[in-house]
Amino acid sequence: MEPIVQKNESYSELMLTEGATTTVDEDFHYEIKLPDWADSKKVKMGQRFGFLNLNALSHATFLGLLAVIPVETLTQVLIFTKQSSTPALSYRRFKANGLHLQTWYRNPMETGSIAWQSISTIRRMHVVVNKRSTKAGVGIISQKDMAVTQFLFMGFAMLMPETFGFVGCYEQFDAFNHLWRLIGYLLGTADRFNCCGETVEETRRRLQSIKEDMLLPAWKDPFPGCMEYARITFEGVSTSFPTMEYESSMFMMKKAVGVPGYNLFDSKQNDKNVFHDLSLYAKFQIFLEFVIYEHFSHIFVFRWIFNIFRIMVALLEFYPILAIYRFGRKYAFVEIMKPKKYN
């Protein structure tokens, strides 16, 4: 059973006021350097934790991507770039994100490393997009939106480890938290806005604030075009996750966020009405995910079977047959850390 986490009220207030109006990088006059609190041993342990929980992390990140879509200030900037307006473009954008993630989990976070080059590339991209979106009146890339994006990659892992099948001791979760606190810092998120605090407990309180005060209200009243963008995103990204199904994925994501009516085991909510409207295949997928992540993933043998399966699927990305079939070679092959044009 997941521990009950109380949100950090002061963090919520900070994020919804100052965090929403503070830009990450206004220009290229920034310096990327390690903070005094960076610990290379914790970084390595956090990276190993991600690998040991590869299947759970992939699943949590996939649902995290869907979870942040109704945050309008964040998504409108993504829409403005015109790089995720079709399933093919969405696939390219988020495959590139996945390649950046791989560099962060596989390489040291130090000057001159591939991970460092990746961080530098993303920060330059943020400056360009921020300038153009601000000039167009779309909005800024704010500290709040950066923290919400950070939630995408590690929020469910830290808040709901048992639900998503994560296994590890306190020290491993602390190291994973440290890794993502450092990534957020290097990407330009100030410590007071960073969704990762110094301790696991503080991080969980901040993440709960994001979930309760930013994601949940957004899903209760999504902005016009939100669901269309969610569908396009799913159709693109699911090319790398061929076993996923839209209805069941949205159900499990909303269940994790806490949207009313999406908790199977709370008799006070009309869960059965929501569940019964789903297709038979979606219901089967929900049952399968429940069994895999909440039960079998906690058993060593099954966890590694799932991890190996995830690795095999990832290996297909070296020659993305499914993406080639769906979108063509032009969209299927993606490179990162090279000059790109942003609309």
What whole-number percentage of the chain has pLDDT above 90? 76
The pLDDT tens digits of the residues spanning 30-87 come to 889 999 999 999 999 999 999 999 999 999 999 999 999 999 999 999 999 998 999 9
Residue 135 has pLDDT above 50, yes or no: yes
Question: What is the rounded average pLDDT of the residues 175-187?
Answer: 98
Query: Is 343 within the bounds of a domain?
Result: no
The pLDDT tens digits of the residues spanning 260-308 come to 988 775 555 554 568 888 999 999 999 999 998 888 888 888 888 888 8
Query: Is 38 within the bounds of a domain?
Result: yes
Residue 174 has pLDDT above 80, yes or no: yes
Domain region containing 265: 9-332
Residue 335: what pLDDT? 87
Residue 338: which pLDDT band, with cuts at 50, 70 and 90? low
Question: What is the rounded average pLDDT of the residues 125-154?
Answer: 96
Residue 172 has pLDDT above 50, yes or no: yes
Query: Is 298 within the bounds of a domain?
Result: yes
Average pLDDT across the chain, whole number: 91
Question: What is the rounded average pLDDT of the residues 318-340?
Answer: 83
Question: What is the rounded average pLDDT of the residues 171-200?
Answer: 98
| Residue 193 CA neighbour count, 13 Å, CB half | 26
Helix (H, G, I), strand (E, B) or coil at 215: helix
Residue 342: what pLDDT? 43
CA distances from 184 to 158, 192, 225 (A): 15, 11, 29
Query: Is 338 within the bounds of a domain?
Result: no
Domain count, the chain: 1
Residues 192 and 185: their CA atoms lie apart, in Å, by: 10
- Rank 4-8, 170-174, 308-312 by mean pLDDT and report only the highest: 170-174
Which residues are within 8 A (CB) of 206 and not within 5 positions of it... i.e. 6 or more apart? 8, 11, 147, 194, 195, 196, 197
Query: Is 342 within the bounds of a domain?
Result: no
Residues 300 and 238: their CA atoms lie apart, in Å, by: 27
Query: Is 109 within the bounds of a domain?
Result: yes
Residue 82: what pLDDT? 92
Query: Is 2 within the bounds of a domain?
Result: no
Query: Tokens 């009309």 sit at which residue?
Result: 270
Residue 343: what pLDDT? 44
| Residue of 304 and 1 predicted with greater confidence | 304
Residue 170 has pLDDT above 90, yes or no: yes
Query: Is 265 within the bounds of a domain?
Result: yes
What pTM does this model have? 0.92
